[in-house]
Amino acid sequence: MSTCPRCQAAEEKIRAEHKGLNAQGELVWTIFHCNACEFTWRDSEPASTIDYNKREAFFRVDPEKPYPVIMPPAQYKK
């Protein structure tokens, strides 16, 4: 696993979350999570979901950009 399929964050930002094994204990797939944009994926998914170049560009995320905040805490501090 090199970079995040959604935001292209570098490898050090990505953590392996869980390994799916079959009944014989053999590895079937691994789930990864990007600490930069919070994208989660499984390495067995179709390329249209987990290959940066094959994903629809509309769904790319730039973690540095401002995104809407739901119920921003600062908005209702006493």
Interface residues with other proteins (CB under 8 A)? 6, 17-18, 20-23, 28-29, 31, 33, 37-42, 44-46, 48-49, 55-56, 59, 61, 63, 67-73, 76-78
Least separation in angstroms between CB 54 and other proteins: 11
The residue among 10 and 40 lying less far from other proteins, judged by its C-beta, is 40
The residue among 10 and 20 lying less far from other proteins, judged by its C-beta, is 20
Least separation in angstroms between CB 50 and other proteins: 9
Distance CA 69, CA 78 (A): 19
If we measure between CA atoms, which residue out of 30, 43, 29, 27 comes closest to residue 5?
A: 43
| CA-angle at 61, arms to 47 and 63, nearest 5° | 135
If we measure between CA atoms, which residue out of 26, 29, 7, 25 comes closest to residue 17?
A: 29
